[in-house]
Every structure is written in structure tokens, then in C-alpha cells.
A and B are shown apart, each in its own frame.
Chain A
Amino acid sequence: MPSNPGEVALEIDSPTESPRASSEFEEVSYPTWSQPRAEEELPLHYMGEDKARRRVKGAQAAPESTVMFDADSPTEYDQGDDGGKDVYAKLRQHQTPVSRMRRTSAPPTSVSEFIQQNLEHLPPAIYTLLSCWTRFHDIGKSPYVVWDEAHFGKFGSHYLKREFYFDVHPPLGKMLVGLAGLLSGYNGNYEFKSGEQYPDDVPFVAMRVMLATFGVAMVPLGWYTAVELGMSRRACHLVALMVLCDVAWLAISRFILLDSMLLFFTFLTVYCLTKFNNQQHEPFSFDWWTWLSFTGLSIGMVCSVKWIGLFVTALVGVYTIEDLWEKFGDLKMPVRTYIRHWVARAGCLIGLPIIVYLISFKLHFLILNHSGPGDAQMSSLFQAHLVGNDFSRSPLEAAYGSRVTLKNMGWGGGLLHSHVQTYPVGSSQQQVTCYHYKDENNDWVFLPRWEEPEYNPNGELQFVKHGDVLRLSHFSTGRNMHSHAIPAPVTKTAYEVSGYGNQTIGDSHDYWMVEVVDDIRRGHRNNFETIHTLTTRLRFKHWKLGCYLRAANAVLPQWGFKQIEVSCEKEDNPRDEHTYWNIESHINDRLPPAEITHIRSPFFRDFWHLNVAMMTSNNALIPDPDKEDILASKPFDWPWLHLGLRMCGWGDNQTKYYLLGTPVIWWSGTASLGISLVVFVVYLLRMQRKYVDFAPGEWDHFLYVGKIALFGWCFHYLPFLIMGRVTYVHHYLPALYFSVLMVAHLIDHFFLSARSLSERTKWAVFAFCVISIVGTFWWFRGVAFGIDGPINDHKGLGWRKSWNIYSL
């Protein structure tokens, strides 16, 4: 990025010789000890460019523009340290009304007056219209299921059919997809198979349009955020243009995906935060409360769409902590007021988001009241209440010979499972795992010990009781559940559990002692004898080793199909729910079905259970070293746009979409982040040498905008570096927003609001930026609008060799 040498060049030189007479940007004079005058305390934000960010000019500014080193007044050393003084009071003076007082002008009497009064909203309105065009233009061009529409469209359908499903993302976004489907008259009966053509009765265009509306709203949000950040008008234009013209944001908004919502709520959160920041001069006013609570609501929304939203929450969190730290130093503030500040933030920024998040789950459970593909993720009691579930018809009391499935009762627990595949480590015997889907391999049979008479299907019915020692035989493979003193594959401190032997071969390591913990319905175990399905909580203790059967969400590697490890825990921890099991489904022809209604499991239990399950599945999404995932990319690939992503098939007759950013925007964004650090260090060094580059308050404001952008970017980017899971280009899209803000901020600082530049230069710079942004966008528009025909006929798109935009 070009810079004006007069302003930023690192001129760390000794200023001791003599005060400079007339540097253009820096006027130095000896202290006059006069109090700052009122006109110097003018609000700095939201002023015309001619006033804002002006470097101090002329001698009037002397008291602020400060003092060079003065050897005769050694006491001044101490003034540098304002650790204990009322820093905040000074700060407050500079933080004067930013978004003006509430407008009190008279209501418009004529159309022209109305236009006059709202002229400032004209540019965003125009941008919104343009945004509508880009987002909606030819949105139905490809009548195929593009990319992840296969997932999210399907999840939307589940809401319409009201069948319970399971996914790693929180429900709000998918409920909105379902709502879009509902509004556009979709009946929910389509499978959304990847790459398939939409049948006539699926109103996919209407659904895409509704979801793209979130994408449309990103543009005005970008504009108003820039305004709230105190950028000059031209910088606001730049922000809005970049948001409008990035083809990655555009492409991702045009399909039935969650990303447009995620981006919208991320933008909204930043907007609310900046809006709130500008109310800080008037704490506890109506506007202040409004924007604080809007920030909280927005956080709740963004986290309910995807957990990525936690990153923007972190930004708000850090902003709040800094703010409270500032206020902590304000000795004039009464303690009560300070506590009120804390309470207000805790309520609005922690309480409200949690409520929003909970509500989204409550709605999720309310809507999905039919049995569906995600049942097995939830606790047995929850499943029993889904319409279409037949648990209540299985026999009530478990007996020898009963064929049962066993559900782990820990948070996120699954069904005890085994399959013919063996452990590649340890004993090499058959794997025993925990599985979250229903399948015949989940069935186990209670059988007596080897030395006891063999189970006789016609003999006397014998019920299983507390303290019984028995065998658990896997129904489909006939293996007995077995444990031995071999460390488990993941949890090395516990013993491995495997399937061993068959109907005739086995040893005493196959014996498990049934320990009843209690019964949800009948209370303590002394109150009853037999074991009931669903409600009785059991533990299985290995008879030989004394260890307890446990499944605690440790994910097995690929050889175990990413299922949950089952191990035998040596330490007896009677309160550990991961060692609790209950019988879920129960088949025994000799017993009558029990027609009972079960107690409902409480909402918070279901909520927490589902969240743990989501977390476990999310952790299982680690890249598979054996499988080549051509779509995945590494975080290092993103900032410089190393890779794009083919969103659909690449045949000559298909409409092709390529997820790729507008290079100018991505590259300048990344560069600006680096430059911002350099600029920050240079300014600090200059300050240490007592150069004054900023009028009072300007530095704070410069820093504030920079911090929002830089921290926002870091929070949205760096976590991916240490995250184990598989990552894709579109994970960078929220982070991109902050780099865009940084570009605008720096261009604004160095060019558009620079005092030393003429208006002509500013126009030139502005025009250059606009032309390069719009030009590149136009060049690459095809990747978002859809490319027809053989891709190799479209020349000039392969700006980097690593992009696989052309077929070989």
C-alpha cells in the first residue's frame, strides 16, 4: 500500500536540539500550562472529513500538541504515568456524542424536505438495491442441488416433516431454512441428493431468494458500521463496495446454505457493537440500553446459527473487558454505577444470548416431535416421546434371553455396538463401540454364565436382577462382550472391551455383573426387584477385573469409523454417568408389550445432551489422512486466496460455481492487517520520541477502529490454526469482513482523511480503489453468477496456478 511519506515515514530522530519551527504536521512548543480550550474538545467522530482526523495545526493547539523534552522540569517524568489518575475523565471528554443527539428536527412538511433530511441514507439505499441485483440475479440458473444444499436443504425439510434429525450445527439457521421452505410452499418431501435436479414441486428459487436476503442486508450493514466507526464518507463507500463486490460472499449467499445467515448476524453484531460504543457517553440512556441489548440478541442469533459465532462473541467480550477496565480506573465513578455497568453487561451480553440460544433449541424440540433419523443421539426417554416411536410397546421387564439395546446415559452417549471389524491395536479382537444410529449391530442378548445351564427358550422365564452375573452376547455376530488387562485404544488408562468367542467358546472374562443404580420412576434400587426398560439405570461391572463398562465420548480413529470408544474403567466412580446404561429397545417374544407412558425428560437435560453430542460429532470431523479431500483446505491457504473451491460438478453442460474471493479485496485485506501492525509500531516509536501525530482523542479512535478490525480478524482466523477439524475456504468468510474494515480504515487514515493531501489526490485514490474493486468483481462475476459451457473457454480467470478453476 502506498503511503504518504510525510506522515508515516519512520522519523525517529532526536528532537532535543530545538523545537521544530514549522513542520507541516507537527507544531512543537513549550508547555503553556493552560487548560485546554473548549473548542479543542470538539467531538471528533462523525464530523466532516475536513474537521475530523485533522492533524493539529497552528499554535492554538499547542497545549495539546505538547511539549518536547524539557530538562528543567524533571517532575514531568511522573506525568507520563497516569496510572492512578482519572484517565477516564479525560477520555470521556473526547468521547463526546458520536452519533449526534437524537434528532429533534421537525417532521418534514414536504417531499423535498424529507429527502433533504434523509439524504445520508441515500447511498446505502442505492447500495442495497445494487446488492439485491447481485444477490438475486439469475439465482435459479442452476436447477441442481449445489454443494451443501444437500445438507441444509434436507435439514430444512425435516422441520417441515417435523422429524427429529441430528446435525453438528445449532438449529436457528436450519429453522430459517425450514421457514423459507414453508413460506415458499415447499412440502418437505424432497431428498436433496447432491447434484440432482430439482423436481418441479420444489420451489428452490424462492427458498434461495429468501436466504439471499440475508446476504443483501450485509451491504447496508457494512455501510452503517463504517459510519458508526467514524470513517469518512468515501471510506464508507469503500466498505460498502467491498462487501457488495466480493464474489465469495456473493456466491455463498445465493444458495440454500447457513453462511449467508452466519455472515449477516456477524455483521449485525459488529454493527450493534459500534452503535453501542457511540452511546457510551450517555450510559443507561434509552439508546444505550437498546444497543447493548441488541448486541446481546445478535450474539445469541449468530451463535445459534453456527458455533463460529463464538468468535465474534469473543470480540465483544474483549471490547467489554477493556471498557470495564477503563471504567475501573475512573475514580470519580461511584461504585454503585460501576456495579450497574457490570450487571448491565452480564445481563445483556451473557444472559440474553443464552436465552436466545435456549429458545432456538426449545423451538427445535417443539417442532421436531416425530421420530426421525437423529433419534439415537438423544436419551431414551426423549425418544420415547417422539411420535412414531415404539419404545412404549416393548416388554417392560428384562429377562434372560431378552434381546436389548443398551444406551449410555452420559451426556451425548450412544448405543452399545459391535461389528465384525477388529481392533488393529491391542488384542486384535472384535471392536465394541458406541454408535449413534439404529442398526441391528446394536442388539445384545442377556445370557447366563458358562457354568450355569444353557439358556432354554422354553424353560422357566428368569428375570435379570441387581447383582446378577451374566454374559452379554452380541446378537448378529454371536461374540461375547469381553474385557482383559490390555489398555483401551484411546483411553490408555482403562481396559479394552472387545467381542470374543462365540456360543460355545468363552471364559470368565466374559462375565459382567449387573449393578442397578436406581430407577427414574421407582426410585432407589431397594424399592424394586426387576429391571425395567428405559427407566432403570444400570452399571456393568467386569466380574474378573472389577472395572466398569464406560463410554465417554472418546472418538476412535478411522479404523473404528469415528465411533465412540467403549472401555472398562478401573476406578470405581459411582457418580460417573458415563458408566450408566439403560435398556432402550427390548425384544422378547415371551413377554407381553407394556403399554405405558413414560415421564418426559426435562428440557435442560435434552438441551445439554444434544449440545454434548454436537460437540462430540464436531470433534470427530477431523481430516482423514487416508482419504483425499479435494475440497478441504488449510487455514494458511485462505488469506492469500491460495485455493478456490468447486461448488458443483464441472461438466461442460453444467452451470459451474466456484467459491473464490475477489482477489483485490482478499489480498489488500491481508496486506492491510500486516501494515496495520507496522503502522502501530511506528506510531508507538514516534510517541516514545515525543512526536505528536494526533490531536487529542484521535489516537484513541484510530486505535479503537484498528482493534475492532485486527482482533476481530484474529479471533475469526487464528482458532482455525489449532483446530483439529477439517476446514474449508468458506470458514474464512467472517474473518474477511474484519480485513475489509482494516483496508478501509487504513486507506481512510492515510489518504481519504489525511490533512496533507489535496482533495484532488483523495479523489484520485478513491477512484483508483473503486475502479479496481468493481473491475475485478466484474471480471470474476461469473464464478458467482454461474459459468455456462466449457470452462476452458472462459479465459483469464486463473490468476493463480493453484486455483483448480480450469479442468486439466
Chain B
Amino acid sequence: MERPTGSRRRRGYGGIDAPSNVSTSARSSDSEDLPTEHSQRAGATIIPPSPWNLHNYAIVTVMTIIAFGLRFYKLNHPDQVAFDEVHFGKFASYYITGEYYFDVHPPFAKLLLGLAGWFVGYDGSFEFETIGDSYTAAHVPYVGLRALPAFLGSLTVPLVYMIMLESGYPTLVAAFSTVLILLGELDNGHIGQTRLILLDAQLIFFVTLSLYTYVKFRKVRYLEFTPVWWGWLCATGVALACSLGCKMVGLFTFFTIGTAVLVDLWEVLDVRKEGHTMDYFYKHFIARTVGLIILPAIVYLSFFWVHFALLPKSGTGDAFMSPAFQETLRNNELLMNSQEIRYYDTITIKHKETKVFLHSHPEQYPLRYDDGRVSSQGQQVTGYNHDDVNNHWIVVPTKALPETGRGRIVRHEDIIQLTHVATDTKLLTHDVASPLMPTNTEFTTVSHDEARGERYNDTLFQVQIDDADPGQAWKSKSGHFKLIHMPTRVALWTHPKPLPEWAFKQQEINGNKKVHEKSNIWYVNEVVAVEGGGEDVRNRTGQVATKEPSKMNFFKKFAELQFLMLQHNAGLTAHHPYASSPLNWPFLLSGISFWTDNEKEEQVYLIGNIVGWWTCVMALSIYTGVIAADLLARRRGTYPIPYTVRNRLWNNAGFFFIAWAFHYFPFYLMNRQLFLHHYLPAHVASALAAGAVYDFIFSELNNFPISYPGPKTRARRPTRSDIFKVPAAITLTILTVLMFAMFLFIAPLTYGTPTLTGEAVNRRRLLSSWTLHFAAKKTTMD
């Protein structure tokens, strides 16, 4: 419950206390170059020196070359499917073959993979069925596919360098952060992840790019509404859309940038600064909305547009989608086989979730169940998962029908009876508890006599087609429906729990009082025979056999897919042996086994460079400590950190810090299975923050100013960082050497080669929680 700044400001500003003891160095204003319209020297401002000079170029070139080298080294090994290549390789193939698939991640990263595949001439025929399938045997140009992530992964390294340099840090600091990524990313975590056909390299690249473009945008903020300003704003928007297009984790990048933008706008709103008008504020507000919300939305949607455009054919993803969607896919089963149902047709009915047929057989419910409840002793109605004549039902009308024609079609909200063909009885439900669930009603059948007589009402069911307009025809396959019992308003329902032996362990069918549940949905699997059995079902309607896919509004398709993605993403809760909780990640308590070769005893194990990662964790704790100390000290009226340094610490390092926090903490709230590689974007941010902390420790001054001056900017005396000191250089050297040593040590686990002996594996198990394969067995116990 920190007191909001508003009230404090007002009081202070009201002049109750004259500001006598506040020195300039303690100003808390967040802007580094306070613009003032009273500056006499406006126009004669000092242009910040470009951070780029020859040795910077040299360093970044060398680093990039090393990055490429490390990622492309033995890119062809292993020549087998590793880890999630199973999924993403397959998805890339589908773009080439054009078959529709479903995945929980947005399509952009996979589109890029598909593009890479197309580029290297891959025909999309490989199945990517299980981890360990050989690429070479199938002649898959997998190196080309892997080159894309490796390429983008390598480019992340210079990007990190550039972010640090553009943020005003000296070369040494930029090198520090880059080394953390180069050998920390290049180290095993990032290298391992970015060498394979996965989405994370693309994601990390675009997340880093978003941070870079926003830093650039911040630097030109005094040149507001100029082309360069607009350029960087839109670039940020596009980079954000690309991150989101790779994985939903990109949303966290949005939050990061969004927070920074809100702080920024809050400053603009502040009437004390220059007295901006509201129009001015609105202009800024609208510019941000356009650049960072509308533009990304358009880009994001365009990914989906391309996605749908590239996947016109029916494929593995059909079953996830709604019938309307499926009918837009060429050669879709629904499209091909969907038939209108008429009264007196014989049909089979299938439960959508559990895929069992509505079934009945002459056996009866036992009079008394184990728990003492009593049944109606009627004929059993069960769910059965094999095709069988006992699954056949005839749709019987409850109203007068015309002799022929379309009046005989069953429509939405029609009231029908169902006759079980084999036993010639009618389906019904009544207020008797079902065998397994006392809350639900029992389904059974009765003879025609009874069904005409006193039980008539109990045999009436209403067909409620899902998402239908009034009068819509009931179709097989595509017509998902609920069968609602008229008198009791329960829905026909089944669940996977089997009945006991007396019902041959078939599924229980019962009446569900919760009518609105998704699991109440059934569909007609097949029209087995029509009335009289004469006509061919297919040609009855006089339609041509080959059907054209129907059209569907793009936004509807997008909305449906987006919703399903989120739903399935949240549903990925199954246990996975290498899943780990977020608490493990920063400390590298566990890794992921990507691939193993039992013959050669080789393995790829995703684990970070422990030196680098722990350095990052240390830096983050130091940062938190410094900020806390600063807050406490200021509360007690002392100002230990000089203004410019503090400004950099709060605003720039703070930006990196919230980037880390936003890419890390939300995972604690997720119930789905989580893996170490989810931490990689956060790790990049932590490396950036580590650089800032390194700078704070070793430097008394900043490079200042770094932003491009605008027309109203007041000139300030520039300062240069004094970090080029021996201790700083030594620290950097030690870190580099240590990280490099650690990298070499772990490298066999990253590259999957050469083979390690059991003892060597044991030595590399630096933490007892790492689960490496092929470890030497400990000698057995006594």
C-alpha cells in the first residue's frame, strides 16, 4: 500500500514545505534530459556521440562470428528427430503439403520453418513420428531446417550487444552481457535450444528485437512525430507482433513494453512538465495505440491469414475444429460425407468426446445395485465403441409428415423418438437414478405399446443442434447436437467410467441435468439406411458427389482457432518426466533430455552454462538489494546514489528487470506443464540486467546524454563512463574464461557428441538433480 505519488506530489507542490534541502542531485524526476522551453541554447545542443566506433564494430563482428560458429558446428548431428522436432518439424512439413494441422502456438515461427524447408527443397513427406527417427535414411534436408533457428539464434547475440550499447553502456558492459548470452546462450541452454527445429530461437530473437527497437524509440523521444520516431515506434510494434506470432509468451513482451509506455505516457500527462495540453497528450496516446496495438494486431492477424491460405486441405487438425470450419477444408470427411437426415432413416449416433456409439442390447439392468439402490430393470442402454447392429436407431417423427420432399428432413429443435432397430424398442429416460450416478437419470427402452401409451411422454426427445439457426437441417457428421429429454430437460450424456460386468464394461449412458456442458454433444456418425432401404443415401438430395469447400469469414476462423489454442494450451497438464517448476529455472536445477542414442551412448541434454546463469541470478539479487536500499535510504532523507546513475539504474536497468520479471513470474500462475526452455527469454533479459548491474558496480559515471536532442532540449554537460578500469576488465576476463571452460566441459551434452564414458557423464552431473543418461552405475549396496 505505497502511498500513491499523486497525493504526495500535490502536497509537496502546494508549497506547504519549502524545498530547501533537496539538492539537484537528488531530483527524482525520471527524465534524464529535462527539456525546458526556457533554454537559451536550444538548437545549439550537443549531439550525443554515436556509441559506435571501430572497436565496437570489431567486437560485435567477432562475437557474431563465434555465435555462428558455435551454433552451426555439427549442426547435422544428431541426424535424428530430437525432442519437440517431432511436432514442429511435422508442422513445417504441413505448410509444404498444405494439410491443415492444429497447434497451441501461433503460426509465425512455424511459417518461417516452413519457408526454410521450402527454400531448401524439402517436399514435406517426412512424418517426424518419434524421437530418434533417422533423417538421413529419409533424405530430409534437415540441416536446412535447423539452419533457420541457428541463424536467428546467432543473430540474437549481436542484438544483445547493440541493446547494451544503445542503452548508453560502455563497450565493456555490452561485452559483459553479450558474453553471458554468447557463452550463456551460446552456452548450452541457448545453443541447445537454437540448434534444433524448434520455435524458441525465433521467439527469443524477436523478443530481443522488441527490446532493441523500443530502446531505440526511447532514444529519439525528443524528436517526436518525426519519421525516425515513427519508424522505431512501428518497428517495435512489428517486432512485438512477431514475438507473439511465435508463441503466446510474446504476450509478456507486450506487457513489458506496455509498462514502459504507460510510465512514458504518465510523464507526458504531467502538467508540471512544459504544461503540455491535452491535445498533445492525445496525440501521443493515439500514436502509441496505433504503433503498439493496432499495427501489431494487423501483423498478427496476417500471420493467421497466411496460415489459413497455406493450409487449404484436410489434415490432422480437422478434428479440433468446428464442423463449419471443417467444411472449408478440401477433401474433409465432413464435407464429403455429411448428409441431411430424414425421418425414418436408420442412423448411428456417436458421442463427440469419448467416441462411443449409443448402444442397446436385450440384457436388463440388475434390480439392485451394490450400493442398495434399485433400478427400473429396463433394457440396458450403454455406450459401446465398436460398430455393431445394436448401434442402429431409427428416427421417428412426432408430427405429421408430407409424403415426400424436404418436409421429411429432421430440423433443429424437432421433437423425435428413437427406435432401437435390433430389439424394436423405443429409447426413453425417466426419473430413476442411473447405475453409477445417483444424480443423473437412467436411460432404457420400452416396447412400442408402452411407448404409445403411458410412457409416451418419456420417449420424447428434442434435437438441439449446436450453434444452429432455427429450422436448420440435421446433418450427419457435421450436425453436432444435444438430445434433450422433453419432460425432465436432461441431456443424453456419457462418461468414460465403465459399468460393471453385467453391462460388459460398456460405458454408462445417463441423463445429465447440467444441460449446458460441452460433453453433452453427440453427432450422427452415419446414415446406415434410408426409409425402405431403396435409394442411395448419397444421391438422395440430388447433389453432386464432389463438393467444393464452403467459405468462412476469416475473422470467425481466426477467433475459433485462437480460442482453441488458448484452451488446449491450458489443458497441457499431463505429467512429463522433464517438466520442471519455474523455481528450478534460474538456478538450473534441472534440464531436459532432448535426444539419446542408446547404441553410441550419446545424448543431447538441454542445460545452461551454470556460471553464466548463476551470475545472472546474482546480478538480479544485487539489483533488488540496491533498489531496496535506495528506497529505504531516501525514506530516511539520504540520497546515496548520484542522480544520473540512479536514473539509469531505475529506468534502464529497471526496464530490463521488468522484462525479466514479466517473462518469468507469470509462469508461476500457469497450471500447464513447464520446461526449462520457457525461461530462455527471461534469461536474455536477466543477462541485460546483469550488464547494468556490472556497470553500476564498477562505474561512477554514465555515458550521458544518449538520447537524441529535440528542438526544446536543454543542453547539459555530457559525461563519459569511467568503467575502463582494471578490476572491471579482470572481472570480465575471469567470467569469460570460466564460462568458456564450463562451456567446453558441458559441450558434449549440447552437441550430442563425442560419446562420454559413464564416469565422464557422472562428472558432468554438476548438480545432483540433473538426470543424465548413461551414467556409470554406482557399485551396488551390500
Chain A residues at the B interface, C-beta cutoff of 8 Å: 12-16, 31, 33, 35-36, 63-64, 66-69, 71, 74-87, 90, 318-319, 321-322, 325-326, 328-329, 331, 492, 544-546, 626, 628, 630, 683-685, 687-690, 692, 696, 699-700, 703, 707, 711, 722, 808
Report the minimal beta-carbon distance from A545 to chain B, rounded to whole angstroms: 7
Cross-chain contact A83 with B28 (CB below 8 angstroms): yes
Query: B731 interface residue, CB < 8 Å from A?
Result: no
Shortest 3 CB-CB contacts between residues of A and residues of B: A687-B6, A80-B9, A14-B277
Q: Tell whether A63 pairs with B15 under 8 Å between CB atoms, given A325-B2, A328-B632.
A: yes
* Contact between B279 and A14, CB atoms less than 8 A apart: yes
Chain B residues whose CB sits within 8 angstroms of the CB of A688 once the complex forms: 6, 266, 269-271
Contact with A along B60-88 (1 / 0, CB 8 A): 00000000000000000000000000000
Contact B8 A328 (CB under 8 A): no
B636 touching A82, Cβ below 8 Å: no
Q: Is there a chain A Cβ closer than 8 Å to B584's Cβ?
A: no
**Chain B residues with Cβ under 8 A from A74's Cβ?**
36, 38
| Contact partners of B279 in chain A: CB under 8 A | 14
Query: CB-CB < 8 A to A35: which residues of B?
Result: 16
Cα–Cα, bound, A707→B635 (Å): 22
Known: A84-B21, A689-B269. A546 touches B781 (CB 8 A): yes
Task: State the B residues within 8 Å of A (CB).
Answer: 1-4, 6-19, 21-22, 26-29, 34, 36-38, 266, 269-273, 275-279, 281, 437, 439, 488-489, 497, 513, 577, 632, 634-639, 669, 781
Which single member of B2, B4, B13, B277 contacts A79 (CB below 8 Å)? B13
Are A83 and B635 in touch, CB under 8 angstroms? yes
B489 partner residues in chain A, CB cutoff 8 A = 808
- Bound CA–CA A77/B636 (angstroms): 21
Contacting pair B781 A544 (CB below 8 A): yes
Contact B19 A79, beta carbon cutoff 8 Å: yes
Further pairs besides A16-B277, A80-B9, A692-B10: 15, Cβ < 8 Å = A14-B279, A63-B14, A63-B16, A67-B14, A78-B19, A84-B634, A325-B2, A544-B781, A546-B781, A628-B437, A684-B6, A687-B9, A689-B278, A696-B11, A711-B1
Selected contact of A545 from candidates B277, B281, B632, B781, CB within 8 Å: B781
User: How far, in whole Å, are A808 and B488 apart by their CA atoms in the complex?
Assistant: 7
Chain A residues near B639 (CB-CB < 8 A)? 84
Residues of B within 8 A of A707 (CB): 1
**Interface centre among A15, A31, A85, by most B CB within 10 Å?**
A85
**Interface SS of B by simple majority:** loop
Determine if B17 and A85 form an interchain contact, defined as CB atoms under 8 angstroms apart: yes
Chain B residue numbers with a CB within 8 Å of A699 are 6-7, 10
A77 touches B275 (CB 8 A): no
- Report if A81-B27 is in contact (Cβ < 8 Å); known contacts: A14-B278, A67-B14, A687-B10: yes
Q: List 8 A-B contacts (CB under 8 A).
A: A63-B14, A82-B12, A84-B22, A322-B3, A328-B636, A684-B6, A722-B669, A808-B489
Closest to B516 in A: A802
Q: A15 to chain B: which residues have CB within 8 Å?
A: 271
Complex Cα distance, B17 from A700, in Å, reads 18
**Complex Cα–Cα for A703 and B19 (A):** 26
CB pair A683–B1 under 8 Å, yes or no, is no
In the complex, what distance in Å separates the CA atom of A85 from the CA atom of B14?
A: 14
Q: Which of A68, A69, A71, A79 contacts B15 (CB 8 A)?
A: A79
Distance between B11 CB and nearest chain A CB, rounded to angstroms: 6
- Docked Cα-Cα span, A69 to B275, in Å, equals 7
> In the complex, which residues of chain A have a beta carbon less than 8 angstroms from the beta carbon of B277?
14, 16
A78 touches B269 (CB 8 A): no
Contacts of A711 in B (CB 8 A): 1
Contact (Cβ within 8 A) A66 B635 = no
Nearest A residue (CB) for B266: A688
Which of B2, B14, B17, B277: most chain A CB closer than 10 A?
A: B14
Contacts of B437 in A (CB 8 A): 628
| B17 & A82 in contact (Cβ 8 Å cutoff) | yes
Asked whether, in the complex, the Cβ of A690 is within 8 Å of the Cβ of B272, the reply is: yes
- From A331, A492, A703, give the contact of B637 (CB < 8 A): A331
- Contact B13–A80 (Cβ < 8 Å): yes
Evaluate whether A685 and B269 lie within 8 angstroms (CB atoms) in the complex, with A80-B13, A700-B7 already known.
yes
State the CA gap A626–B273 with chains docked (Å): 62
A-B contact number at CB 8 A: 162
Bound complex: CA of A685 vs CA of B282, how far in Å? 13
A687 touching B272 in the complex, CB below 8 Å, given contacts A77-B27, A90-B17: no
Contact flag A329-B635 (CB < 8 Å), given A78-B19, A628-B439, A700-B7 = yes
State whether A325 touches B13 (Cβ < 8 A). Answer: no
List B contacts of A628 (CB < 8 A).
437, 439
Residues of A within 8 A of B513 (CB): 808
Establish whether residues B497 and A626, one from each chain, have CB atoms under 8 Å apart when the complex forms: yes
**B26 and A66 form a contact (CB under 8 A):** no
Q: Is the CB of B22 within 8 A of A78?
A: yes
Minimum C-beta distance from B309 to chain A (A) = 38
Contact of B272 among A69, A696, A700 (CB under 8 A): A69
Task: Check A690–B21 contact: CB distance below 8 A.
Answer: no
A85 to B10, CA, bound (A): 14
Docked pose: A703 CA to B8 CA in angstroms:
13
List of A residues within 8 angstroms of B10 by Cβ? 66, 687, 690, 692, 699
CB-defined contacts of A703 to chain B, threshold 8 Å: 3-4, 7
Distance (Å) between the CB of B578 and the closest chain A CB?
11
A76 with B21, Cβ < 8 A, contacts A328-B636, A544-B781 known: no
Closest B residue to A68 by beta carbon equals: B271
State A14–B4 Cα separation when bound (angstroms).
Answer: 22
For A331, the chain B residues whose CB sits under 8 A away are 636-637
Given contacts A78-B27, A81-B22, contact A689 B271 (CB under 8 A): yes
B336 to chain A minimum Cβ distance, whole angstroms, is 37
The closest CB in chain B to the CB of A688 belongs to B269
Q: Residues of A contacting B4 with CB < 8 Å?
A: 684, 703
Residue of A77, A630, A699 ringed by the most chain B CB atoms within 10 A: A77
Q: Is the CB of B636 within 8 A of A683?
A: no
Interfacial chain B residues near A79, Cβ < 8 Å: 12-15, 17, 19
* Docked CA distance A722–B513 (Å): 28
* CA gap between A690 and B639 in the complex, in Å: 27
Taking the closest CB of chain B, its distance from the CB of A132, in whole angstroms, is 37
* A36 and B16 within 8 A (CB): yes
Residues on the A chain within 8 Å of B1, using CB:
318-319, 321-322, 707, 711
Q: Which residues on the A side are within 8 Å of B14 (C-beta)?
A: 31, 63-64, 66-67, 79
Given known contacts A74-B36, A683-B6, A703-B4, is B636 in contact with A67 (CB within 8 Å)?
A: no
Task: Give CA–CA (A153, B637) in the complex, Å.
Answer: 59
Assess the B15–A77 pair: CB atoms within 8 A.
Answer: no
Asked, given contacts A82-B8, A84-B21, A630-B439, whether A16 binds B781 with beta carbons under 8 Å apart, the answer is no
**A690, B22: Cβ atoms under 8 Å?**
no
- Known contacts A626-B497, A707-B1; A85 and B637 CB within 8 A of each other: yes
Nearest CB in chain A to that of B575: its residue: A492
* B9 closest partner in A (C-beta): A80
| Other-chain residue from B15, B37, B488, B638 in contact with A84 (beta carbon distance below 8 A) | B638
B12 pairs with A80, CB closer than 8 A: yes
- Provide the bound-state CA to CA distance between A692 and B15, in Å: 14
Q: Judging by beta carbons under 8 Å apart, are B278 and A13 in contact?
A: yes
Smallest Cβ distance from B598 to chain A, in angstroms? 18
Q: How far is the CA of A690 from the CA of B638 in the complex (A)?
A: 28
Among B13, B497, B638, which residue has its beta carbon within 8 angstroms of that of A76? Answer: B13
Q: How far is the CA of A187 from the CA of B36 in the complex (A)?
A: 84
The answer to whether B11 touches A90, judged by C-beta atoms less than 8 angstroms apart, is yes
Are the C-beta atoms of A12 and B278 separated by less than 8 Å?
Answer: yes
Give complex CA distance A599, B273 in Å.
76
Chain B residues in 8 Å Cβ range of A67 = 13-15
Given contacts A85-B17, A329-B636, contact A80 B278 (CB under 8 A): no
Closest beta carbon of chain A to B671's beta carbon, Å: 10
A689 CB to closest chain B CB (Å) equals 5
Please name all residues of chain B whose beta carbon is closer than 8 Å to the beta carbon of A31 when the two chains form the complex.
Answer: 14-15
Beta-carbon contact of A71 and B275 below 8 Å: yes
| A90 lies within 8 A of B22 (CB) | no
Listed residue (A76, A83, A628, A630) with the most chain B CB atoms within 10 angstroms of its CB: A83
